[in-house]
Amino acid sequence: MTSPNPYNHSSSPTRHRSWQRLEALAAQGQPHLRDLLLADDAVGTECGSQSHPGTLRAKRLQLMAAGLCLDARHQAVTLEVLDALLELASDCQIGPQAQALYRGEPINATEGRAVLHPALRGGAMQAPPWGADQAQRIEAELHRFLSAAERIRNGLWVGHEGQRITDVVNLGIGGSDLGPRMAVAALEHLASAQVRVHFVSNPDAWALHRVLRTLDAARTVFIVQSKTFSTQETLTLAASARRWLHEHGLQTPAEQAPHLIAVTAAPAVAAQQGYLPQHTYTFWDWVGGRYSVWSAIGLPVAIAVGPLAFREFLQGGHAMDLHFWNAKPQHNMPLLLALLGIWNRNFLHCPSHMLAPYPSRLDAFTRFVQQMDMESNGKSTHLDGNTVQIDTGPIVWGGLGIDGQHAYFQLLHQGRHRVPVDFIGVEREDTPLPLAAEHHRVVLLNQRAQALALAVGRDRADTEAELRAGGMPEHQVQRLLPHRTFAGNVPSNTLWLPALTPHTLGALVALYEHKVFCQAAIWGINPYDQWGVELGKTLAKAMEHAAETTPHPPT
Ligand SMILES: O=P(O)(O)OC[C@H]1O[C@H](O)[C@H](O)[C@@H](O)[C@@H]1O
């Protein structure tokens, strides 16, 4: 039986009755979040609490998957809205679209490519939908780069002069930087004390110098990461790194060889540039740059935390895949996250979406998801070639929640933008510091307080009562009232990780990947190309060429 091709019909979701129903629901106005939460009678209860799950709405907005808990009770949706959103998902054939992805069909239609990054973490599967041969190739390359990581970690991979490697410098940009940079920081507590991992993405000379000035060339390995091996910024950094090795006594290709690793989907191009095949780790054109942390692009992560932990990271991602494939739409966490985002973007017309992780080790997570989401869904052409008439990917921004509270959260509370937030927290924190538990208590308190304050705000009557209770003279109460009242009704999700581990991190990354996929599937756009970025690259090359061919006036 041939599968239904999801791209043979018009791509706009507005043609569905469910879309029109959602428009009508939004137009008729929805209850304030304060009232929804009061009705749920579940304010302050733990995510997924069995003893006090609250109303049906509250129950349906709390899901567990791959060890993570999504608490979406602070979303401005009624059961009626939730049902209409699920109907939209069914109308848009998310299921068949996901199946096409896993079978390796060329769903990246504008580049004629398959999109199989989930295969990179599907090693344990008995009969993978992408085929046993593909699975074998993936495992063989995984084994190769994990062995390299192990040898660097245990001192068997030595520099030209026989010294142990103490520093690894990752040179790459975009997807060849953000994923591994994020994961190394998130798992910093597991990192080897023997080998430090650094990241340089910016071709600005200082960015490289500030790392190199502290390093010993004889003990340093550069990993040049580039899917295409043609990105100007990365090649500029790589040339400068090689020159630095040269200046520090490693002059011939043979002397430099143990200090240079290439990771790329274009190994022939790397070979032309002098990188040895045995020091080149590869992946495939069906791995998008922003989805490549699971491939050999993850080598710096494996060096930092070791092969075992890297495999746990893959397993965490795979656990989320299994959930995504098997869970019913109503219980499907990535789908729910996507649908709530669609409600906020297309029906409540929120132009941006904020990520606020509270564990400091997730500092780089927002920038990572920002690329994944904005480069994927920042599109205005449907798959059928028609111009999109609805809003697509939001502006994704944010950063560590606690720091944000003292910087830009004011705008969330009282500004003119309604900004939905994803709060990300960990339930358990094992930092070996005497007062670690107290630190954690303060962090959690703040995270919970912000989600609540944004949702419920503070109405006029409560504000008035509070000001009067403080003994404020009446004329002052009346003058301050409008300034001290908070509209609230700002929607948020809270994602709880039991602890920050390779497994939960993998699940979290895969969750956002699937969310982005589901939203693209609903909007009818291709999340896997990035022609906008290509234009900038082409223009830079053309300008370089013009400068080279224009005769300079004699000096
Ligand atoms: O890995 P590379 O081929 O060097 O590409 C690095 C980056 O280049 C561009 O900016 C693309 O839009 C990104 O998706 C990609 O990750």
pLDDT in the model for residue 34 = 95
The reply to whether ligand 1 has any atom less than 6 angstroms from the CB of 226 is: yes
Nearest CA to ligand 1 atom 4: 226
Angle at CA 484, nearest 5°, toward 481 and 490? 125
- 3-state SS of 85-101 is HHHHHHHCCHHHHHHHH
Specify whether the backbone of 323 is left (phi greater than 0), alpha (psi in -120 to 50) or beta: alpha
The reply to whether ligand 1 has any atom less than 6 angstroms from the CB of 307 is: no
pLDDT in the model for residue 50 = 63
ipTM of this model? Answer: 0.98
Please give the distance, rounded to the nearest whole angstrom, from the Cα atom of residue 174 to the centre of ligand 1: 5
Mean pLDDT for the stretch of residues 321-331: 97
The reply to whether ligand 1 has any atom less than 6 angstroms from the CB of 227 is: yes
Please indicate whether residue 555 or residue 423 has the higher confidence score (pLDDT): 423
Please give the distance, rounded to the nearest whole angstrom, from the Cα atom of residue 415 to the centre of ligand 1: 35
pLDDT, tens digit, 9 for 90 and up, residues 287-299: 999 999 999 999 9
pTM, rounded to two decimals: 0.95
Please give the distance, rounded to the nearest whole angstrom, from the Cα atom of residue 295 to the centre of ligand 1: 15
CATH topology agreement for domains 17-91+327-456+490-533 and 117-312: yes
From the CA of 289, give the closest atom in ligand 1. Answer: 16
The reply to whether ligand 1 has any atom less than 6 angstroms from the CB of 234 is: yes
Could you tell me the fold of the domain covering 17-91+327-456+490-533? Rossmann fold (3.40.50)
Cβ(302)–Cβ(294) under 8 Å? no
| Cα 353 to the center of its chain, rounded Å | 13
Confidence of residue 322 (pLDDT cuts 50, 70, 90): very high
pLDDT in the model for residue 44 = 58
Residue of 75, 76, 92, 85 whose CA lies nearest to 23: 85
The reply to whether ligand 1 has any atom less than 6 angstroms from the CB of 542 is: no
- Other beta carbons within 10 angstroms of residue 230's beta carbon come to 14
pLDDT, tens digit, 9 for 90 and up, residues 248-289: 999 999 999 999 999 999 999 999 999 999 999 999 999 999
Domain ranges of the chain: 17-91+327-456+490-533, 117-312
Return phi, psi of residue 64, to 5°.
-110, 140
Tokens of 531: 């022609």
Contacts of 299 (CB under 8 A, 6+ apart): 145, 148, 149, 180, 223, 225, 261, 263, 281
d(CA 512, CA 514) in angstroms, rounded, equals 5
Mean pLDDT for the stretch of residues 101-107: 92
d(CA 293, CA 152) in angstroms, rounded, equals 19
**Are β-strands 220-225 and 280-282 bridged in parallel, bridged antiparallel, or unpaired?**
unpaired
pLDDT in the model for residue 7 = 46
537 is catalytic: yes
Measured CA distances, 168 to 172, 259, 302 (Å): 13, 9, 12
pLDDT in the model for residue 241 = 98
From the CA of 297, give the closest atom in ligand 1. Answer: 1
Say whether pLDDT at 67 is over 80: yes
Please give the distance, rounded to the nearest whole angstrom, from the Cα atom of residue 213 to the centre of ligand 1: 27
Please give the distance, rounded to the nearest whole angstrom, from the Cα atom of residue 45 to the centre of ligand 1: 43
From the CA of 234, give the closest atom in ligand 1. Answer: 4
pLDDT in the model for residue 306 = 98
Nearest CA to ligand 1 atom 13: 174
Q: What is the DSSP letter of 158?
A: B
483 is catalytic: no
d(CA 483, CA 414) in angstroms, rounded, equals 9
What mean pLDDT is reported for the chain?
Answer: 94
375 is catalytic: yes
Cβ(418)–Cβ(350) under 8 Å? yes
Nearest CA to ligand 1 atom 7: 174
Query: Which of 1-15, 187-201, 417-431, 444-458 bottoms out in mean pLDDT, i.e. has the lowest?
Result: 1-15
Please give the distance, rounded to the nearest whole angstrom, from the Cα atom of residue 173 to the centre of ligand 1: 6
The reply to whether ligand 1 has any atom less than 6 angstroms from the CB of 264 is: no
- Indicate the length of the chain as a whole number: 555
Residue among 117, 173, 178, 370 whose CB has most ligand 1 atoms within 8 A, to mutate? 173
From the CA of 292, give the closest atom in ligand 1. Answer: 16
Confidence of residue 3 (pLDDT cuts 50, 70, 90): very low
Confidence of residue 9 (pLDDT cuts 50, 70, 90): low
Identity at 189, one-letter amino acid code:
H
Tokens of 335: 């789908």
Contacts of 113 (CB under 8 A, 6+ apart): 106, 285, 286, 528
Candidate list 375, 429, 464, 513, residue with the active-site label: 375
Confidence of residue 5 (pLDDT cuts 50, 70, 90): very low
Angle at CA 365, nearest 5°, toward 401 and 304? 125
Say whether pLDDT at 54 is over 90: no
The reply to whether ligand 1 has any atom less than 6 angstroms from the CB of 376 is: no
- 3-state SS of 441-500 is HHHHHHHHHHHHHHHHCECHHHHHHHHHHCCCCHHHHHHHHHHHCECCCCCEEEEEECCC
Residue among 108, 225, 228, 273 whose CB has most ligand 1 atoms within 8 A, to mutate? 228
Please indicate whether residue 439 or residue 534 has the higher confidence score (pLDDT): 439
Percent of the chain residues topping a pLDDT of 70: 95
Cβ(41)–Cβ(55) under 8 Å? yes
Q: Which CATH class, in words, describes the domain spanning 117-312? A: alpha beta
Say whether pLDDT at 38 is over 70: yes
The reply to whether ligand 1 has any atom less than 6 angstroms from the CB of 371 is: no
Please give the distance, rounded to the nearest whole angstrom, from the Cα atom of residue 394 to the centre of ligand 1: 21
Please indicate whether residue 548 or residue 316 has the higher confidence score (pLDDT): 316
pLDDT, tens digit, 9 for 90 and up, residues 155-193: 999 999 999 999 999 999 999 999 999 999 999 999 989
The reply to whether ligand 1 has any atom less than 6 angstroms from the CB of 290 is: yes
Candidate list 328, 406, 475, 483, residue with the active-site label: 406
pLDDT in the model for residue 282 = 98
pLDDT, tens digit, 9 for 90 and up, residues 366-375: 999 999 999 9
Specify whether the backbone of 385 is left (phi greater than 0), alpha (psi in -120 to 50) or beta: left
Say whether pLDDT at 92 is over 50: yes
Confidence of residue 534 (pLDDT cuts 50, 70, 90): confident
d(CA 453, CA 466) in angstroms, rounded, equals 15
d(CA 369, CA 341) in angstroms, rounded, equals 14
pLDDT, tens digit, 9 for 90 and up, residues 120-155: 999 878 899 999 999 999 999 999 999 999 999 999
pLDDT, tens digit, 9 for 90 and up, residues 194-240: 999 999 999 999 999 999 999 999 999 999 999 999 999 999 999 99
Say whether pLDDT at 554 is over 60: no
The reply to whether ligand 1 has any atom less than 6 angstroms from the CB of 180 is: no
